[in-house]
Amino acid sequence: MAETKIPKATAKRLPIYYRYLNILFNAGKQRVSSTELSEAVQVDSATIRRDFSYFGALGKRGYGYDVENLLNFFKKTLNQDRLTNVALIGVGNLGHALLNYNFQQTNSVRISAAFDINKDIANTIQSGVPVYPMAEMKKQLQVQQINVAILTVPIEDAQKVTDELVSAGVKGVMNFTPIRISVPSTVRVQNVDLANELQTLIYFLDHYGSETPETKNSTQA
């Protein structure tokens, strides 16, 4: 199948579009204009039109976009019609919260296995997810064909655990630790530094009030 290379900023907005289209579809709406979509998802309509243009001409002038067509298209693009099992490493406070959350908004991702070094947590079931000892990580990841992992171990163990994940064949790591982990070029890392995000928010509020440069011009992510 031919793959369209889309800009990273566009790719980041796809789940936002997808979520809103789902709401429209469930409410029985058949079409949506880019202006309407723009107001709902807080992305300007020129950006929406440009984003959508990467996928070919999906909209019709004067009609807008067909909600079901668009939804099916995004579903395929985002692999929402396929379930991806994800592992979580480190069942501490944050790990527990994520297990409990377990991505209920989406039917396509779920944490199906967790791992922890602590003997009191290993071999238990937490929020419906089995927690395995670290010694079983490689085997379980391979047996369960998991290639995405969420990292919620302490900072000092982040790199070591990442190396183990890579050697077990993991291709994507969602890094919740505040350090930048090193991986080979074949592995992708998404960093989620909650403290940093919060500090950025506070910085913007202190310096710009609620009108940040992004809300003034939301074309760039």
Instruction: For residue 34, count other CB atoms closer than 10 A to its CB.
Output: 19
Rule CB under 6 A: say whether 157 interacts with ligand ATP: yes
Nearer residue to ligand ATP within complex by CB, 12 or 139:
139
- 3-state DSSP assignment of residue 26: helix
Rule CB under 6 A: say whether 91 interacts with ligand ATP: yes
Q: Give the H or E element holding residue 181.
A: none
Q: In which order are the strands placed within the sheet that holds 188-191?
A: 124-126, 129-133, 109-116, 84-89, 148-151, 172-175, 188-191
Options 16-24, 34-42, 154-162, 190-198: segment touching ligand ATP (CB under 6 A): 154-162
Rule CB under 6 A: say whether 193 interacts with ligand ATP: no
Query: In the numeric block, which tokens belong to residue 36?
Result: 């309407």
Please tell me the number of Cα atoms within 13 Å of 167 on its side-chain side. Answer: 8
220 close to 9: Cβ distance less than 8 angstroms:
yes
Query: In the numeric block, which tokens belong to residue 193?
Result: 């530094």
Query: In the numeric block, which tokens belong to residue 220?
Result: 């760039």
Residue 215: partners with Cβ closer than 8 Å, 6 or more residues away: 42
Of residues 42-81, which lie at the interface with ligand ATP (CB under 6 A)? none
Rule CB under 6 A: say whether 140 interacts with ligand ATP: no
Of residues 107-126, which lie at the interface with ligand ATP (CB under 6 A)? 116-118, 121
- Choosing from 47, 112, 152, 162, the residue that interacts with ligand ATP (CB under 6 A) is 152
Is 83 annotated among the ligand-binding residues?
Answer: no
For the bound state, the minimum distance from the C-beta of residue 166 to ligand ATP, rounded and expressed in Å, comes to: 14
Rule CB under 6 A: say whether 93 interacts with ligand ATP: yes
Nearer residue to ligand ATP within complex by CB, 149 or 153:
153
Binding region for ligand ATP (CB under 6 A): 89-95, 116-118, 121, 134, 152-154, 157, 161
